[in-house]
């Protein structure tokens, strides 16, 4: 698990030398009455995201940073594969990717383990995971009472605990968890398929490491795979750069996609057509 650590100024000065190097600690927020006394020494710690005195400002920083860190986690899903069509050779690099795609196709098949599709076991797992989190427990209760497969996209895009579990399972290729989430995955797939667009020209601002970018540059005309759901917009972003990112490691990249509905391709659809949300440009 990743830790966003909130600490007072006086205590932070004592314990940051001991915890700053921990990989699980990804962000530190110094919450104190007199920020001006702690700005200088915190500059020695790269993981300190802010020195703040107002609770609402702290919450806003954390909300913004969660999106930032989720983008960083998404980097793990980017894969590049060379074109092996001509040689008909499946090497050790691409074999796991092909296996996982076939596994997902099998999981989505309506004829596979149809009788086992149920939310009961998943709800038990979610409750165990959220024992001390009242907000998540309330969402799980709401899900158990009101879930409708026609609202699966809403549960996905609202970043609920259910969506976070699904995205994590897909990105980490967690086969066991995907079996528990299978009914939700099928509902999302069917909703996308029922509203499938013939084509779409879309954009996405994606955070990438400089290593990722260089890897793409040296592998032009190859296959680029993103393992997970990909929310895009028909509107081109006006601004690509961001002051919130560490420019020594990361850079925002504009991805432009010309998507077409072809046999065997995964479905894509307008979010507004599937929900009552005012997302007229999101695909």
- Tens digits of per-residue pLDDT, 202-230? 998 887 777 778 888 888 777 777 777 88
Q: Is residue 52 part of a domain?
A: yes
Of 45, 74, 103, the one marking the end of a domain is 74
Q: What is the number of other CB atoms lying within 10 angstroms of the CB of residue 163?
A: 19
Looking at residue 29, its pLDDT comes to: 92
Of 192, 221, 244, the one marking the end of a domain is 192
Q: Is residue 70 part of a domain?
A: yes
More confident residue, 144 or 84: 144
Looking at residue 76, its pLDDT comes to: 65
**Are residues 55 and 138 located together in one domain of the fold?**
no
Does the pLDDT at position 89 exceed 60? no
Pairing of strands 223-226, 48-52: unpaired
- Between the alpha carbon of residue 78 and those of residues 60, 74, 198, 209, the distances in Å are 29, 7, 25, 11
Q: Is residue 283 part of a domain?
A: no
Does the pLDDT at position 115 exceed 70? no
Distance CA 207, CA 73 (A): 10
Which residue range is the domain that position 187 belongs to? 95-192
For residue 70, the SS3 value is helix
Q: Is residue 81 part of a domain?
A: no
**Interior/surface letters 73-111, b for 16+ CB within 10 angstroms, e for the rest:** bbeebbeeeeeeeeeeeeeeebeebeeeeeebeebbeee
Distance CA 154, CA 169 (A): 19
Q: Is residue 264 part of a domain?
A: yes
More confident residue, 252 or 77: 252
Of 192, 222, 248, the one marking the end of a domain is 192
**Are residues 160 and 187 located together in one domain of the fold?**
yes
């Amino acid at each position: 698990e990743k830790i966003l650590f909130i600490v007072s100024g006086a205590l932070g000065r004592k314990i940051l030398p001991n915890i700053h190097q921990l990989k699980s600690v990804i962000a530190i927020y110094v919450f104190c009455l007199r920020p001006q006394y702690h700005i200088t020494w915190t500059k020695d710690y790269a993981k300190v995201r802010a020195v703040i005195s107002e609770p609402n400002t702290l919450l806003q920083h954390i909300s913004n940073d969660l999106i930032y860190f989720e983008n960083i986690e998404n980097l793990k899903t980017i894969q590049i594969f060379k074109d092996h069509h001509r040689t008909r050779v499946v090497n050790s690099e691409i074999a796991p990717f092909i296996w996982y795609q076939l596994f997902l196709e099998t999981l989505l098949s309506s004829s596979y383990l149809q009788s086992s599709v149920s939310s009961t076991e998943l709800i038990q797992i979610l409750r165990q995971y959220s024992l001390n989190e009242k907000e998540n427990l309330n969402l799980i209760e709401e899900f158990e009472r009101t879930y409708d497969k026609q609202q699966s996209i809403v549960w996905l895009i609202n970043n609920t605990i259910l969506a976070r579990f699904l995205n994590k399972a897909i990105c980490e290729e967690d086969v066991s968890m995907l079996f528990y989430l299978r009914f939700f995955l099928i509902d999302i797939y069917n909703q996308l398929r029922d509203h499938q667009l013939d084509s779409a020209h879309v954009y996405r601002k994606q955070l990438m490491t400089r290593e990722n970018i260089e890897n793409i540059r040296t592998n032009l005309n190859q296959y680029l795979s993103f393992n997970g759901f990909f929310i895009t917009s028909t509107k081109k972003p006006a601004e690509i750069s961001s002051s919130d990112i560490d420019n020594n490691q990361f850079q925002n990249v504009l991805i432009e996609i010309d998507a077409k509905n072809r046999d065997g391709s995964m479905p894509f659809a307008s979010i507004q057509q599937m929900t009552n949300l005012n997302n007229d440009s999101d695909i």
